[in-house]
Amino acid sequence: MTPDEFRRHGRQVVDWIAAYQEKIESYPVRSQVAPGEVLEALPPSPPETGEGFEGVLADLDRVLMPGITHWQHPSFFAYFPANASGPAILGDLLSSGLGVQGMLWATSPACTELETRVVDWLAQLLELPEAYRGNGVIQDSASSASLVAVVAALHRAGGGRPGRDGITARYTLYTSSQTHSSLEKAARICGIGAAAVRVVDVDPQTLAMDPACLETTIARDRAAGAVPLLVCATVGTTSTTAIDPVPEIGVVCRRNDAWLHVDAAYAGVAAVCPELRWLNDGLAQYADSYVTNPHKWMLTNFDCTTLWVADRAPLVGALSVLPEYLRNQATASGEVIDYRDWQIPLGRRFRALKLWSVIRWYGAQGLRAHIRSGIGLAQELAGWIEADAAFHLHPHHPLGLVCFRPLWPQLPDAEADATTLRIMQRLNDSGELYLTHTKAGGRVLLRMAIGAPGTELRHVRLAWDRIAAAVRAETAP
């Protein structure tokens, strides 16, 4: 593709995206296709000769769009938001256009140094601990970042032996029932195994980890000869945005020489608002590693997870391997950061460009306004639910996620839960909104996560009206 062809097709794609943004509300939020429908509509074999780019755009509209679930739709309330934004899209486009590899400082110094700077900007915006300054890195996902934290914790706990000799001690890892599944996945991958994951009790109301139970669980494990490796405290769990008590957990970690990893994948970026800085409680004193995802609620397209560590030595110690073909003067000088030693993959895209574009376009004020808008809408919604006698509101909803369930007073619990899920399915099938569910205290809860850039009061109102009407229709005689 010549530069002139790129200009022409590039404009087509830019216009396509702008038009998509303008008409996104005309699509059903959740794709309505059945398994195999898109696959069947795509030619089974690749073309022998090249085609124009128009065919791609035509098939995008004809074949792919029916199979798209619109995460940027203002009525998308499922999972957590995965914000896209104009400046992030364009920052990523610049990254693709430059096509550089940022594995080493030497392979494109600006790729490393912009990342150092912009991740530091984010640390300032969130008022993260001083110790994190210069010790941050962009990862693809919180899952990978948590695996990296576990591997660094192993390096520290085992004095470098686990990387060299493998897992030879009995390490244990502490989560709650509300911790993200990526911690169990990390335990499987890193060789300590899922059975080494201890599920610490939570407070039945707040669903926050119980530090006393953590302490007794660790004591029991130590008595049995295990080494308490890492505790994952979550600030804003995936299920219900429960907030684990990081300061109290940190005290237990310190006493037991365990690594404290704080997973604030969804909630962490909200600390851009000064009134939410309590989200950082305990980080400065106790957290060895901290992760939050600008790609969820901070307007930066996936993938952009930020991981900070209080001390980079165990991280780099665990992950650095230097073959001859990567040796270079800058690395040997020790004056530069090679971010390949801070992550699983070797190669790296220039992801800092999109975070840089986002922070510059919105500024601190714009980012705060976005977070506050999501929280404001969620609190409105919570008010409506609370005022409706047909519903139970999960009492804990400090951010953009609201969990609730219809009461179905006539039904036994299991049947009530099945009815709730059936109603949810019907609402999602309508294409007017998309929400997902979780379980807490053994009961199904509906989750409405608010935070797409385009979501306004009218979208939340429409969703609530549909939900309330569906429940009333079900209970009507």
- Residues 326-385 touching a second copy, rule: CB under 8 A, are 326, 328-330, 333, 335-336, 344-347, 349, 356-357, 359-366
Report how far apart, in Å, the C-alpha atoms of 337 and of each of 100, 111, 137, 320, 331 are: 17, 11, 10, 12, 8
Q: How far apart are CA 174 and CA 244, in angstroms?
A: 12
Cβ atoms 318, 152 nearer than 8 A:
yes
Binding-site size for a second copy (CB under 8 A) equals: 158
Site for a second copy in 136-165 (CB under 8 A): 140-144, 147, 151, 162-165
To a second copy, the closest distance from the beta carbon of 115 in angstroms equals: 10
Is the CB of 251 or the CB of 352 nearer to a second copy?
352
Is the CB of 158 or the CB of 245 nearer to a second copy?
158
Work out which of 26, 99, 387, 409 binds a second copy, going by CB under 8 A: 99
Site for a second copy in 42-81 (CB under 8 A): 42, 44-51, 53, 55-56, 60, 63-72, 78-79
Query: For the chain, how many residues are written?
Result: 477
Work out which of 130, 166, 274, 409 binds a second copy, going by CB under 8 A: 166
Is the CB of 187 or the CB of 262 nearer to a second copy?
187
Number of Cβ within a 10 Å radius of residue 315: 25
Q: How far apart are CA 342 and CA 291, in angstroms?
A: 13
Ranges of H-type helices in 100-227 = 109-126, 142-157, 161-165, 181-189, 211-223
Type of residue found at 59: D
274 binds a second copy (CB under 8 A): no
Site for a second copy in 294-333 (CB under 8 A): 295, 301-303, 318-319, 321-326, 328-330, 333
Is the CB of 211 or the CB of 394 nearer to a second copy?
394
Type of residue found at 19: A
What are the two backbone dihedrals, phi and then psi, of residue 265, each rounded to the nearest 5 degrees? -50, -50
To a second copy, the closest distance from the beta carbon of 10 in angstroms equals: 3
Cβ atoms 120, 136 nearer than 8 A:
yes
Is the CB of 111 or the CB of 251 nearer to a second copy?
111
Site for a second copy in 401-460 (CB under 8 A): 425, 436-439, 447
Cβ atoms 401, 446 nearer than 8 A:
no
To a second copy, the closest distance from the beta carbon of 125 in angstroms equals: 6
Ranges of H-type helices in 158-256 = 161-165, 181-189, 211-223, 246-256
- Which of 174-182, 226-234, 405-413, 467-475 is the region at the interface with a second copy (rule: CB under 8 A)? 174-182
To a second copy, the closest distance from the beta carbon of 43 in angstroms equals: 8
Is the CB of 248 or the CB of 455 nearer to a second copy?
455
Q: How far apart are CA 237 and CA 179, in angstroms?
A: 6
Work out which of 98, 313, 418, 473 binds a second copy, going by CB under 8 A: 98
Work out which of 127, 191, 281, 443 binds a second copy, going by CB under 8 A: 191
Q: Which helix (H) or strand (E) holds 429?
A: helix 413-429
Q: How far apart are CA 317 and CA 287, in angstroms?
A: 19
Site for a second copy in 213-272 (CB under 8 A): 238-239
Q: How far apart are CA 136 and CA 312, in angstroms?
A: 9
Site for a second copy in 109-138 (CB under 8 A): 109-111, 113-114, 116-118, 120-122, 124-125
Provide the token pair at 320. Answer: 């650095």
Work out which of 28, 75, 77, 88 binds a second copy, going by CB under 8 A: 88
Q: How far apart are CA 2 and CA 374, in angstroms?
A: 43
To a second copy, the closest distance from the beta carbon of 156 in angstroms equals: 14
Is the CB of 121 or the CB of 380 nearer to a second copy?
121
Is the CB of 183 or the CB of 276 nearer to a second copy?
183
Is the CB of 64 or the CB of 462 nearer to a second copy?
64
Q: How far apart are CA 76 and CA 74, in angstroms?
A: 6
To a second copy, the closest distance from the beta carbon of 244 in angstroms equals: 17
Cis bond upstream, residue 303 (ω within 30): yes
What are the two backbone dihedrals, phi and then psi, of residue 241, each rounded to the nearest 5 degrees? 55, 40
